[in-house]
Amino acid sequence: MIQPPVLEWQIGVVTRITTENARTKTFTVALPKWIAHEPGQHYDVRLTAPDGYKTERSYSVASEPERRGEVDLTVERIVDGEVSPYLHDVLVIGDQLEVRGPIGGYFVWDVALGGPLLLVGGGSGVVPLMAMLRHRAAQESAIPTRLLYSCHGPDDLIYHDEFAALARAGGTLEIVITFTRQAPEGWSGYRRRIDAAMLNEVKEPLGEGIRSYVCGPTLLVEAVANALVASGMSPDRIRTERFGPTGS
Ligand SMILES: Cc1cc2nc3c(=O)[nH]c(=O)nc-3n(C[C@H](O)[C@H](O)[C@H](O)COP(=O)(O)OP(=O)(O)OC[C@H]3O[C@@H](n4cnc5c(N)ncnc54)[C@H](O)[C@@H]3O)c2cc1C
């Protein structure tokens, strides 16, 4: 039996830090042993304390594989967290970061797989979906695609301007946002948690044979996947990734 290659830890260098919103930053990490990832894959980040204590967390790649030599990792700061506050509050440009990846062979999509594509993300769950959209754009793909993005409020949006630009340029890409706590003034779109009725409205224009990728807090992912199956989608067309324990 052929064993998958063992991924080695490597030392990357932080070359850029982008503030996405008050709680979310993107770290661009240059990698000496860069390998093209599949959109949807993640890296493990390992921190080592002066006393030798080590801890690691997973972060999805936000960038497209067409961008060589570096990856973008977008991290939401979790209050009381062990790793994400360190990345936010301590890491600066030029620092080294120990990483291992790319990892994951299930929650992945590239243009060769085709569509139509229904992406559903909650909070930072939108990160691997962004890698898929950036790859789709880099390949100049016209695969009909809709992203349903659930967010607490306008201040929590990640990649908002780039999503809007991708949708303007793409023609066959549409971004649908639902605000679950606070909507901007004059907002005429959805203002509730994702439910079966919303999913049906969003996926209906995509027609038959949809592929769906769902990512975010565990409760959101389970609710969306169950609703998609109940709507008649085959479970083998639905791929899920759970980021954390909360159901926000
Ligand atoms: C495959 C995969 C990909 C991931 N990709 C990303 C990514 O692209 N961006 C990103 O920001 N995170 C991502 N995560 C989550 C990330 O790995 C960490 O779990 C997260 O950053 C919290 O780590 P921490 O050390 O700061 O908090 P911890 O010390 O692990 O947890 C502190 C407290 O926060 C709670 N908590 C843990 N995770 C979350 C969460 N996601 N939401 C709310 N509460 C939480 C814990 O239950 C605990 O009570 C991913 C997780 C997986 C499994």
The domain that holds 198 is classified in CATH as 3.40.50.80
Specify the higher pLDDT residue, 246 or 103.
Answer: 103
| Cα 142 to middle of ligand 1, angstroms | 33
E-strand stretches of 108-172 = 117-122, 145-151
Domain around 98: 10-103
| Cα 90 to middle of ligand 1, angstroms | 17
User: How many domains in the chain?
Assistant: 2
Residue owning the nearest CA to atom 28 of ligand 1? 81
CB 73 within 8 A of CB 6: no
Give yes or no: residues 84 and 124 share one domain.
no
Of 103, 134, 154, the last residue of a domain is 103
Of 103, 133, 163, the last residue of a domain is 103
**108 within a domain of the structure (yes/no):** no
Number of the ligand 1 atom closest to the C-alpha atom of 103:
1
Give yes or no: residues 195 and 145 share one domain.
yes
Give yes or no: residues 60 and 152 share one domain.
no
E-strand stretches of the chain = 10-21, 24-30, 42-48, 54-60, 70-76, 96-103, 117-122, 145-151, 173-179, 211-217, 238-244
CATH number assigned to the domain comprising residue 84 = 2.40.30.10
pLDDT of residue 248: 39
Give yes or no: residues 133 and 17 share one domain.
no
Mutate to test the pocket of ligand 1, among 19, 23, 37, 84 (most ligand atoms within 8 A of CB): 84
| Cα 206 to middle of ligand 1, angstroms | 32
**248 within a domain of the structure (yes/no):** no
Please give the structure tokens belonging to residue 127.
């990160």
For residue 2, pLDDT over 80 is answered with no
CB 151 within 8 A of CB 182: no
Give yes or no: residues 87 and 140 share one domain.
no
pLDDT of 175-209, one tens digit each?
Answer: 999 999 999 999 999 999 999 999 999 999 999 99
Residue owning the nearest CA to atom 21 of ligand 1? 84
**4 within a domain of the structure (yes/no):** no
- What b/e sequence results for 123-140 when a residue is b if at least 16 CB atoms lie within 10 Å of its CB, and e otherwise? bbbbbbbbbbbbbbbeee
**CA proximity to 32, closest of 70, 89, 76, 77:** 70
**44 within a domain of the structure (yes/no):** yes
**112 within a domain of the structure (yes/no):** no
Give yes or no: residues 83 and 192 share one domain.
no
| Cα 187 to middle of ligand 1, angstroms | 30
Give yes or no: residues 123 and 85 share one domain.
no
Per-residue pLDDT, averaged over 47-51, amounts to: 95
**109 within a domain of the structure (yes/no):** no
CA distance 9 to 204: 44
For residue 59, pLDDT over 90 is answered with yes
Query: In one letter, which amino acid is 117?
Result: L
Provide the whole-model pTM: 0.95
CA distances from 237 to 105, 112, 234 (A): 15, 15, 6
Give yes or no: residues 171 and 197 share one domain.
yes
For residue 1, pLDDT over 60 is answered with no
CB 156 within 8 A of CB 183: no
Cα 76 to the center of its chain, rounded Å = 11
**1 within a domain of the structure (yes/no):** no
